[in-house]
């Protein structure tokens, strides 16, 4: 179609916009101001005038957006408009096909059986009161609309900010709060609905007061051209559910870019607010202040990974300050309001356990253009609870030079916190290796402690020295604390027993093991809540017995799957008694929380009470309270099955072996009612994510349970059970580097060997058709998928790769768990990159990516360039770019379209695939190690070989339809 004809068509369609709403055959769409029909083609792009063809393409695209919102995204999928009129599918099909070649397609809905599962109402979240006598049911809604995800956002210093709300973008929210009394018999009392705020409020940051009598939360609304979309803090009485605003003034709004609010005591909160003196946001100058210059004339060694959304210039710095600057306000429930401290970019605020002090963190200039705000200069101060400055604890410089090696950290004080077992005692860690994990030094970390207000001349006290990297502390009292350290390179992890108040008691190692060895995991200590609201080790006492007992809550990994347990552990002798474990035959039950922690002191074993979650292959999760000594369980929830149409799905944990002897596992799902002898082999979708290991033994250990309920998220591979697929979920893809070997140096070989073993297993079982096996994954799983299609095309009929990175030279300073740079391991980077093997990919591959991906390394450009490389070699491929979506997809329109694309791909290139696939690992290979067969070549030729013709077109970032290239 030439430019003149296209413009004529566009002008004809634009004339429809002059119709009044009463004459339109559909409900008009409310455009954001940047997308209004009046602005079509009116705004210059980067200071230049768009070409006539570009303007026409954009206008047509926006006009097309009017119809799909109502017709295509209708609830019944029939194409009916929201006012009951029926769109003429037959009349528009030819036109849509013509436009799809240049503009992409409209949003689509997947088959009804998939759509019904995704649209099922979500279950509420639960929150228990400090005294464990009440439960909140935090109600949620289904997937958000694209219009919500598409709200303008500022990308500043690694943070995405919604300027209208002055908070992080893409926040989920609750739609309501229900309060239930937990009765002695384990049942729930009638619901008390929190009320008093207007309908349609979006609720966030729900927190209990320390005494459990009140709730604090934020609410907001989305009203165009109104300040009411900013967040306000409300409080509610738990007994009545009556809510009211915390502030009497309508001009005080929450600033939730970093922290939000915290209870200082039972009757007052410290709140991050937008400064009342703040004016309009800074305006971007038409003419820049000067060139953008970065310099390294000092020859500093600064290696950083591919961070996104960084500051770009002085204007960005001003904008970041504008949105992130906070005025701290101390607000009492009686209406008293007091500003404390000057406005600053406060990032956290933490009251001391005795409520007398505040630990306040902030960041300040000079900012950086190469690292996110977490590495900006950081200041930590100590204030009194009423806002009086006491002292500065540290002022850390800009940290651009943290080495990329795993376990490298910032120099200076870090992890500054209050001791949970003391009224107001601080502790922190300081590195002794300059923060560089490659420096070999002993000790590597030192833990210090000090009172909030030390005596004159009193310095910090050394609490403990560590040779590995500090990983946290569980406090109990002056006689007991547990200190954790670990080292990724060796996978070593250690737990120390120390006596914080006794210098004459030597620290000793309690556990020293490999973090990869899940079979030896002793479990994690359970914590109890103190009256001050902190959490300490839960000590348990046995009647007429001496000893210091704690509770260890473990996953219970075994060769048969996880069997969760609760052990009573003597910290002094190491003896343990298993006081509870899950039913391994049918159910998967885990300990969620301690429910008998409302009183001080050691917990009598006979008064123990715990919250558990219980599920099976076919029964969704319910919550129970289990009480000692009779260990009687009371069910406190009765959630309906989220997708009853799949209630009788079949699930099995399968084991098989890689050709090098490594034991592998996967979870095999089969559709309800499937009988292999009657129904024969099915099309199969293999969905996975590789992992790195230091030993074959650890890589071969079983993780997960065969009795876990099949949780199906909105983009889960398990959705295709509803389409009669077999699903091989999470087959282990271990990449092993034993000893001094680097795992990624044999990435391709181990990846292919793992995939071959998985495919052979499902074919051997007779549940998967050897010619109809697809492979897919997200992020690093997408990277895996592309590599498998390049190096093991004999295994799969097609692939689905979502939000991946395919060219490792674009992430030169490390990726995933690779610590070497491109220049240190050039051959590994090149060999691992499927981009470098684009010429070998002959099987159909579907690439999907969010246009606003914020994940380090997985820039949207990765999919764009990979698609162009594939297209340049005639591969059968399709690229779908989702407007406004980030690394994970959020909006209903995008998710439904991703499912439509995936189903279309699977039906076309997996279900309908008829070529003969050779799963024999000894099949003939070319010089590159790639298996090829004559039947595969014939199948490629029969399916079109080079794929459909690609049409190039210009796409604007604010186009609200998926950009699709084929």
Bridging pattern class, strands 845-850 and 798-802: parallel
Active site residue 853: yes
* Residue 870 · residue 845 · CB < 8 Å: yes
Neighbouring C-alpha atoms within 13 Å toward the C-beta of 881: 26
At 497, which helix (H) or strand (E)? strand 492-498
Asked if 402 and 409 count as a contact pair (C-beta separation under 8 A), the reply is: yes
Q: How many CB atoms lie within 10 A of CB 601?
A: 8
Distance CA 788, CA 793 (A): 7
CA distance 278 to 833: 49
C-beta separation of 551 from 539 below 8 A: no
Give the residue from 334, 3, 367, 347 showing the smallest Cα distance to 157: 367
Report the distance separating Cα 917 and Cα 905, nearest Å.
18
Tokens of 163: 């300027």
Cα 268 to Cα 259: distance, rounded to the nearest angstrom: 17
Dihedral sign computed on CA atoms, order 19, 23, 25, 27:
positive
Q: Is the distance from CB of 882 to CB of 897 less than 8 angstroms?
A: yes
How do 192-193 and 125-128 pair as beta strands?
A: unpaired
CB 513 within 8 A of CB 552: no
**How many alpha carbons lie under 13 Å from residue 54 in its C-beta half-sphere?**
12
Radius of gyration of the CA atoms of the chain, in A: 30
Identify the CA nearest to 487 among candidates 425, 548, 441, 422. Answer: 441
CB atoms within 10 A of CB 459: 8
Catalytic pick among 268, 779, 854, 915: 779
Which of 635-639's residues contact partners 24+ apart within 8 Å by CB, and which partners?
Answer: 635/186, 636/135, 636/182, 636/186, 636/187, 636/188, 637/126, 639/123
Strand bridging mode 154-156 / 159-162: antiparallel
- 469-472 own/partner pairs: CB under 8 Å, 24+ apart: 469/407, 469/409, 469/437, 469/444, 469/445, 470/415, 470/429, 470/445, 472/415
Q: How far is C-alpha 905 from the chain's CA centre?
A: 26
Of the residues 853, 886, 955, 960, only one is catalytic, namely: 853
Q: Token pair of 148, please?
A: 């919500």
Tokens of 162: 């919604």
In order, the DSSP letters of 159-201 are EEEETTTTEETT---BSEEEEEEB-TTS-B---EE-BSSPTT-
433 noted as active-site residue: no
Strands 768-778 and 682-687: parallel
Q: Find the length of the chain.
A: 966
DSSP 437-477: TTS--SSSEEEEEEESSPPTT--PEEEEEESSEEEEEEEEE
Task: With H, G, I as helix, E, B as strand and everything else as coil, classify residue 681.
Answer: coil
Active site residue 894: no
Q: Which of 355, 778, 887, 955 is catalytic?
A: 887
d(CA 919, CA 935): 13
User: Which residue do the tokens 């803090």 mark?
Assistant: 233
Catalytic center residues: 779, 853, 887
């Amino acid at each position: 179609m030439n430019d003149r004809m296209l413009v004529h068509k566009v002008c004809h369609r634009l004339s429809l916009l002059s119709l009044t709403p009463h004459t339109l055959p559909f409900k008009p769409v409310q455009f954001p101001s940047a997308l209004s029909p009046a602005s079509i083609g009116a705004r210059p792009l980067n200071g230049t005038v768009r070409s006539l063809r570009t303007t026409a393409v954009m206008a047509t695209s926006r006009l097309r957006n009017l119809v799909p919102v109502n017709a295509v995204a209708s609830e019944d999928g029939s194409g009916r408009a929201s006012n009951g009129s029926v769109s003429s599918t037959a009349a528009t099909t030819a036109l849509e096909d013509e436009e799809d070649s240049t503009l992409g397609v409209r949003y689509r809905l997947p088959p009804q059986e998939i759509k019904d599962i995704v649209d099922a109402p979500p279950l509420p979240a639960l929150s228990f009161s400090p005294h464990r006598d009440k439960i909140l049911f935090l109600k949620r809604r289904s997937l958000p609309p694209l219009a919500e995800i598409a709200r303008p956002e500022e990308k500043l210093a690694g943070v995405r900010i919604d300027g209208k709300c002055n908070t992080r973008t893409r926040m989920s929210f609750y739609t309501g709060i229900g309060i239930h009394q937990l009765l002695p018999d384990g049942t729930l009392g009638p619901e008390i609905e929190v009320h008093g705020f207007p309908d349609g409020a979006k609720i966030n940051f729900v927190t209990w007061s320390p005494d459990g009598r009140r709730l604090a939360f934020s609410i907001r609304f989305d009203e165009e051209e109104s300040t009411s979309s900013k967040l306000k803090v409300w409080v509610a009485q738990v007994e009545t559910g009556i809510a009211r605003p915390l502030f009497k003034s309508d001009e005080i709004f929450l600033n939730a870019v970093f922290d939000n609010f915290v209870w200082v005591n039972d009757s007052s909160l410290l709140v991050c607010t937008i400064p009342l003196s703040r004016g309009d946001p800074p305006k971007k100058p038409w003419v820049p202040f000067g060139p953008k210059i970065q310099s390294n004339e000092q020859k500093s060694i600064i290696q950083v990974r591919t961070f996104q959304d960084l500051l770009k210039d002085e204007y960005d710095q001003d904008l970041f300050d504008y949105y992130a600057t906070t005025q701290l306000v101390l607000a009492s429930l009686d209406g008293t309001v007091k500003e404390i401290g000057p406005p600053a970019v406060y990032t956290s605020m933490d009251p001391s356990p005795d409520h007398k002090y505040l630990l306040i963190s902030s960041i300040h200039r000079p900012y950086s253009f190469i690292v996110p705000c977490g590495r900006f200069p950081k200041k930590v101060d100590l204030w009194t609870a009423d806002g009086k400055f006491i002292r500065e604890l540290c002022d850390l410089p800009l940290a651009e030079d943290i080495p990329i090696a795993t376990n490298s950290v910032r120099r200076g004080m870090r992890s500054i916190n209050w001791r949970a077992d003391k009224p107001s005692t601080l502790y922190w860690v300081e590195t002794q290796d300059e923060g560089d994990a490659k420096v070999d030094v002993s000790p590597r970390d030192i833990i210090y402690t000090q009172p909030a207000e030390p005596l004159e001349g009193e310095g910090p006290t050394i609490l403990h020295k560590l040779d590995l990297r500090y990983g946290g502390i569980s406090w109990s009292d002056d006689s007991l604390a547990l200190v954790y350290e670990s080292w990724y390179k060796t996978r070593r992890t250690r737990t120390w027993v120390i006596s914080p108040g006794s210098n004459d008691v030597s620290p000793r190692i309690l556990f020293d093991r490999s973090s990869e060895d899940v079979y030896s995991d002793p479990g994690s200590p359970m914590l109890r809540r103190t009256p001050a609201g902190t959490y300490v080790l839960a000590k348990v006492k046995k009647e007429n017995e001496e000893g210091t007992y704690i509770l260890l809550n473990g996953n219970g990994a075994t060769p048969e799957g996880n069997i969760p347990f609760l052990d009573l552990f003597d910290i002094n002798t190491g003896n343990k008694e298993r006081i509870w474990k899950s039913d391994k035959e049918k159910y998967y039950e885990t300990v969620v929380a301690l429910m008998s922690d409302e009183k001080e002191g050691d917990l009598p074993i006979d008064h123990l009470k715990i919250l558990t979650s219980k599920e099976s292959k076919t029964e969704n999760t319910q919550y129970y309270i289990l009480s000692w000594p009779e260990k009687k369980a009371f069910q406190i929830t009765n959630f309906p099955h989220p997708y009853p149409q799949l209630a009788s799905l079949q699930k099995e944990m399968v084991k098989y072996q890689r050709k090098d002897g490594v034991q592998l596992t996967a979870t095999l799902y089969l559709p309800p009612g499937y009988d292999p002898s009657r129904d024969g082999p099915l099309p199969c979708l293999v969905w996975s994510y590789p992992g790195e290991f230091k030993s074959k033994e650890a890589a071969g250990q079983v993780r997960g349970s065969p009795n876990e309920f099949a949780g199906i998220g909105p983009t889960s591979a398990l959705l295709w059970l509803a389409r009669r697929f077999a699903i091989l979920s999470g087959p282990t893809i271990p990449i092993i580097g034993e000893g001094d070997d680097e795992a990624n140096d044999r990435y391709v070989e181990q990846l292919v060997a793992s995939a071959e073993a998985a495919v052979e297993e499902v074919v051997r079982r007779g549940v998967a058709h050897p010619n109809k096996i697809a492979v897919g994954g997200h992020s690093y799983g997408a990277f895996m998928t592309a590599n498998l299609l390049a190096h093991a095309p004999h295994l799969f009929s097609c692939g689905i790769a979502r939000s991946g990175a395919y060219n490792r030279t674009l992430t030169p300073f490390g990726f995933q768990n690779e610590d070497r740079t491109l220049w240190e391991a050039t051959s590994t980077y090149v060999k691992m990159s499927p981009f470098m093997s684009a010429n070998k990919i002959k099987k159909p591959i579907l690439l999907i990516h969010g246009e606003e991906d914020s994940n380090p390394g997985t820039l949207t450009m990765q999919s764009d360039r990979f698609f162009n490389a594939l297209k340049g070699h005639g591969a059968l491929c399709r690229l779908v770019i989702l407007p406004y979506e980030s690394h994970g997809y959020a909006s209903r329109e995008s998710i439904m379209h991703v499912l439509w694309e995936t189903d279309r791909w699977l039906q076309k290139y997996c279900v309908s695939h008829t070529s003969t696939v050779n799963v024999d690992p000894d099949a003939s290979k070319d010089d590159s190690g790639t298996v090829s067969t004559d039947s595969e070549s014939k199948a490629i030729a029969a399916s079109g070989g080079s794929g459909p013709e690609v049409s190039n077109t210009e796409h604007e970032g604010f186009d609200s339809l998926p950009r699709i290239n084929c």
